[in-house]
Amino acid sequence: MLPIQFLQLVVPSFVMRYFIRSVANDIVRDDDLLISEGNDVNSLTESEVLAACELRGLPTLSGMSATAMKQCLLNHLLMVHEFQESSDGVSNEIVVLYLPSLRKALKKS
């Protein structure tokens, strides 16, 4: 993976912002679809669950079972759904970008 300093020299910041925003939008749309389907993560294949967890910054340890990853994804969807119900106009894209760091902070406390 390239260091961020190199990317800042080569890629203009507006391009990086656009890329990050588009990834966040993709995650939000994917989460919305999964939530609208009733949080049915059991219908996903193992590779789909792995990709979804990696994209969201959820644990994907090599020895981790598909069931454990599905549970992590389900917990993520429940947290997103809770936020959507209680948010006062806060953009879901912003929250999606901060969820991995919020999870890490909550684990420490």
**pLDDT higher at 102 or 26:** 26
- Give the per-residue pLDDT at 103: 61
CA distance 58 to 2: 22
Mean pLDDT of 64-71: 92
58 φ/ψ angles, rounded to the nearest 5 degrees: -85, 160
Q: Which residue has the higher pLDDT, 10 or 41?
A: 41
Using the 8-state DSSP alphabet, how is residue 12 labeled? Answer: -
Query: What average pLDDT does the segment 72-94 reach?
Result: 80
**Greater model confidence, 24 or 70:** 70
Q: What is the DSSP letter of 62?
A: T
Over residues 30-42, mean pLDDT: 88
d(CA 29, CA 9): 31
Q: How far apart are CA 33 and CA 12, in angstroms?
A: 32
Report the alpha-carbon distance of residue 3 to residue 87 in Å, rounded: 34
pLDDT at 109: 53
